[in-house]
Amino acid sequence: MIKTPLQALATTTPHQAFTADVHFLGEVNALTVMELIRVLGPISRAELARQTLLKPAALSGLVRYLLQEGLVIECEETRSGSQGGRPARLLRMNAASKTILGIDFEPDHLRVALTDLGGAILNYRQLAVDRNHTPDEAFRLVESMVREMGGHRHQLAGVGVSCAGLLDQERGILLGSTNLPKWKNVPIREEIEKRFKAPTIVGRSIHQAAWSEHWFRDRDDHGKTLLITLRTGIGFALVDNGVVYNGSQQFDGELGHTLIDLDGPLCECGRRGCLESFISPASITRRIREKMARGTGRELEFLVASDREADPEMVYRMAKEGNATCMEIVNDLVYYLAIGIGNLVNLLNPNRVVLCGAIEMVNEDLLCSLRRELERHCLPHSWKALEIRLSRHAERSALMGAAMQAAQHHITSIIRNQPSG
């Protein structure tokens, strides 16, 4: 049976959690049924009964409510050959019934997508931006991108937002971000709801990317998933059977600031030897300049001209094309990355490790190199059954996770309004 995450349980009061009245149990059962239909659909009522162990009358009532609210629709079973009898009426999610807007505020990019309720992308835009832009500039750009996609013609069921930094998630306020210097105490939820007139969910990019992996999981993906993101920095999130781990004040996952070498280079955080100081754009720039000072890597001078930081995606691309200097730099990055991920694998013993980030950086070549290096840093028992793969949505992972958080919020709000009894 699929273990279903019940996010509603995470927002109940202690009194609700322990008294579990009939209405509350109805919400839990309805969320369970809805999740099973979403993941396994098209699915028969008989299979739903087997999966949930609910009594026929209770299951019929829940399915009837989901059909009435338009969250679920019926379809006929397709049969091969000349089987007799009436085709079964199967249930599947009514994904096309609603439109969701996803927004990803990354320091160097703005990403926007319109999706259906199930996560199919209806339209998508991406724009390179300067990390010194102001919040107002970013909000105006988002409005323009959504208009360009025709989003103003849709009645949005919800908006999901992804952002990097320290976040007051309850109020939807970005308190600050190292990589967005002009973003201080920004009321993101208030601004987005004012512009798009739809309920808005705001979350940290690392958590949204993790939710994306859970939402779009294979039906047999259970257990613990360790998500590693290579974006402006390096972070991680843990998904345990559908629950994304959140630290105190939602601040966690700073893999880039775990210590690798006490005597290592100075990190932006002020300490020495952080993982990020070995694999960040500043680190790549430093390595290129060191090689140029020794008389090698002159062909890379254009990457660091005018005191700018090297573009990691360009370095990865040139390594893939066979540039010896870039290959050496990338091999060093993989070595340090494997140390950081290996420490996490030995600590947490996950079922799988998923890498996500820009496609030029996080690709099959990197995955193969990392897999070879990672085995050296993992304990045999932790390594034995470990799955390592690329994210399904690459650099769009946080964006899609944000959109699907909004979709889940919409589904949950409808189910919570069901009549009791």
Q: pLDDT for 269-279, tens place per residue?
A: 888 989 988 88
pLDDT in the model for residue 20: 44
Better pLDDT: 149 or 1: 149
pLDDT in the model for residue 419: 57
The answer to whether residue 231 scores a pLDDT higher than 80 is: no
The CATH number assigned to the domain with range 98-212+398-411 reads 3.30.420.40
Is CATH 3.30.420.40 the classification given to domain 217-391?
Answer: yes
> Residues 380-410: pLDDT tens digits?
999 999 999 999 898 899 999 999 999 999 9
User: Helices 45-52 and 56-68 sit at what angle, rounded to 10 degrees?
Assistant: 120
Rounded Cα distance, 34 and 48, in Å? 10
Rounded Cα distance, 182 and 134, in Å? 6
Neighbour order of strands in the sheet with 200-204 = 121-128, 109-116, 99-105, 156-163, 200-204
Rounded Cα distance, 318 and 327, in Å? 8
The distance of Cα 315 from the centroid of its chain, to the nearest Å, equals 25
The answer to whether residue 43 scores a pLDDT higher than 70 is: yes
DSSP percent split of the chain into helix, strand, coil, nearest 5: 50, 20, 30
CB-based contact 104:117 (threshold 8 Å): no
Average pLDDT over residues 215-223: 83
Q: Is 50 exposed, middle or buried (0-12, 13-18, 19+ CB in 10 A)?
A: exposed
Better pLDDT: 187 or 1: 187
Task: Lowest mean pLDDT of 2-16, 39-53, 171-185, 377-391, name the range.
Answer: 2-16
Q: Do domains 98-212+398-411 and 217-391 have the same CATH topology?
A: yes
Mean pLDDT score of the chain: 86
H helices present in 174-261, as ranges: 188-196, 205-215
Torsion of CA 87, 92, 97, 99, to 10 degrees: -150
> Residues 87-128: pLDDT tens digits?
678 999 999 999 999 999 998 889 999 999 999 999 999 999
Average pLDDT over residues 31-45: 93
pLDDT in the model for residue 19: 41
Neighbour order of strands in the sheet with 184-187 = 166-168, 173-176, 184-187
The answer to whether residue 47 scores a pLDDT higher than 60 is: yes
pLDDT in the model for residue 83: 57
Rounded Cα distance, 273 and 265, in Å? 5
pLDDT in the model for residue 11: 43
- Which run of H or of E encompasses 368? helix 364-377
Q: What percent of the chain has pLDDT over 70?
A: 89
Q: Is 114 exposed, middle or buried (0-12, 13-18, 19+ CB in 10 A)?
A: buried
> Residues 171-182: pLDDT tens digits?
999 999 888 899
Average pLDDT over residues 42-64: 92
The answer to whether residue 237 scores a pLDDT higher than 60 is: yes
Please report, for the chain, the start and end positions of each structural domain, with discontinuous segments joined by +: 7-93, 98-212+398-411, 217-391
Q: Which CATH class is domain 7-93?
A: mainly alpha
Better pLDDT: 417 or 238: 238
Average pLDDT over residues 339-367: 87
Better pLDDT: 392 or 85: 392
pLDDT in the model for residue 10: 42
The answer to whether residue 131 scores a pLDDT higher than 90 is: no
